[in-house]
Amino acid sequence: MTNHQYVTLPPAQPLPEGVQILPETASHAEVIEALNAFSFGPGRFAKSAYKLRRNNPPVLAYNRVCMLNGRLIGAVCFSRIRIGPAPALLLGPLAVHPDFKNKGIGLALMRDGMAAAKAAGETLVVLVGDAPYYARAGFLPVPRGQMVMPGPVDYGRLLACEFVAGSLEQAHGPMRPDPRDS
Ligand SMILES: CC(C)(COP(=O)(O)OP(=O)(O)OC[C@H]1O[C@@H](n2cnc3c(N)ncnc32)[C@H](O)[C@@H]1OP(=O)(O)O)[C@@H](O)C(=O)NCCC(=O)NCCS
């Protein structure tokens, strides 16, 4: 087992009353897009991670939404990519409405989506994000030079979490979208 391997996370903090984590359905797409626009602004389209998501439908089976009284207050998305020849999932965007920050929702969304991905036989998840936050979900920095994003990125923010020991080691080279059975 390497340091990057996903292990069962410690119990999540109890979510606020009435908050539910559910699989995303097609009907959520518009509201999720609005939440992402609000959270990340138009600059999100210029990010290298976005290039991996363009024309690459998300994997609805792993995507999760957070609902409270019929309102969508958070969402996490996964897309299929290849890193060299190796299959992987790209996690993101992850967004929680600011009115509901620091209630464990971001971590609960990731935990649920990643558990579904692991159970379905996925092997590796990568993302670009703040290492101190994502370390809480089992992500660690990718060794420098191992992966190449399709555009500029701060490689110190490129993080990985493996479900199967050795899957990170096999993921070397350029990253590209891998739209399939999403
Ligand atoms: C980042 C984000 C997803 C966190 O969601 P959340 O539901 O508020 O987070 P959680 O409740 O699961 O976790 C909160 C904890 O993580 C910490 N945390 C949150 N963002 C952090 C960050 N960027 N770096 C380090 N720690 C962070 C909080 O301080 C809090 O710590 P505590 O438990 O010690 O009080 C949410 O704030 C958000 O949507 N932000 C705008 C979009 C964004 O930046 N997305 C992530 C892209 S990298």
Q: 106 alpha carbon to ligand 1 midpoint, in Å?
A: 7
Domain enclosing residue 112, as ranges: 19-177
> For the segment 128-151, what is each residue's pLDDT rounded down to a tens digit?
999 999 999 999 999 999 999 999
Residue 144 lies in a domain: yes
Provide the terminal-to-terminal Cα distance of the chain, rounded to the nearest Å.
29
Q: 30 alpha carbon to ligand 1 midpoint, in Å?
A: 23
Task: Return the ligand 1 atom nearest residue 95 CA.
Answer: 39
> For the segment 99-126, what is each residue's pLDDT rounded down to a tens digit?
999 999 999 999 999 999 999 999 999 9
The DSSP bridge pattern shows strands 140-141 and 64-68 to be unpaired
pLDDT confidence of residue 9: 57
User: Tokens 């991670």, residue?
Assistant: 49
Pocket of ligand 1 (CB under 6 A): 39, 94-96, 101-107, 129-130, 132-133
pTM: 0.94
> What CA–CA distance (Å, rounded) separates 125 from 84?
14
Q: Whose CA is nearest to atom 35 of ligand 1?
A: 102
| Paired tokens of 45 | 């389209």
Residue 86 lies in a domain: yes
pLDDT confidence of residue 1: 40
Bigger pLDDT: 4 vs 155: 155
- Give the domain CATH number at 92: 3.40.630.30
Q: 133 alpha carbon to ligand 1 midpoint, in Å?
A: 6
Residue 113 lies in a domain: yes
Q: 128 alpha carbon to ligand 1 midpoint, in Å?
A: 14
Residue length of the chain: 182
CA-to-CA separations, 89 to 28, 82, 117, in angstroms, rounded: 21, 8, 9
Question: Are the beta carbons of 55 and 117 closer than 8 angstroms?
Answer: no
By C-alpha distance, which of 117, 31, 85, 119 is closest to 127? 117
Residue 6 lies in a domain: no
Residue 3 lies in a domain: no
> For the segment 23-80, what is each residue's pLDDT rounded down to a tens digit?
999 999 999 999 999 999 989 888 999 999 999 999 999 999 999 999 999 999 999 9
Domains identified in the chain, total number: 1
Q: 103 alpha carbon to ligand 1 midpoint, in Å?
A: 9
DSSP per residue over 72-94, as a string? EEEEEEEEEEEETTEEEEEEEEE
Residue 139 lies in a domain: yes
Q: Whose CA is nearest to atom 31 of ligand 1?
A: 102
